[in-house]
Amino acid sequence: MPLYEFRCAECGQIFDRLMPAGGDSPACTSCGSTQVNRLISMIGGLVGSGTPSSEPRSSGGGCGCGGACACGRN
């Protein structure tokens, strides 16, 4: 089930909700209003585990990215 992010048009509260694709918009978790807008969410920090990560990911090869290379960096 996808995670959607919403902003309430009445109070401005931003909240997220796990819900089926195409489901009805939920009520605001703060004020209860049904006037909510779905936001575009960025999920670039999620890599397989479902948890955000701020650590850079290594491809394992090439200079300066964690792999052995001609300049001697490992």
Give the up-direction half-sphere exposure of residue 62: CA atoms within 13 A in the CB hemisphere. 3
Instruction: Tell me the pLDDT band of 1, cut-offs 50, 70 and 90.
Output: confident
Average pLDDT, the chain: 74
pLDDT tens string 26-46:
999 999 999 999 998 666 545
Mean pLDDT of 55-69: 52
Task: Choose from 14-18, 60-64, 66-70 the range with maximum mean pLDDT.
Answer: 14-18
Distance CA 57, CA 9 (A): 37
By percentage, how much of the chain surpasses pLDDT 90?
39
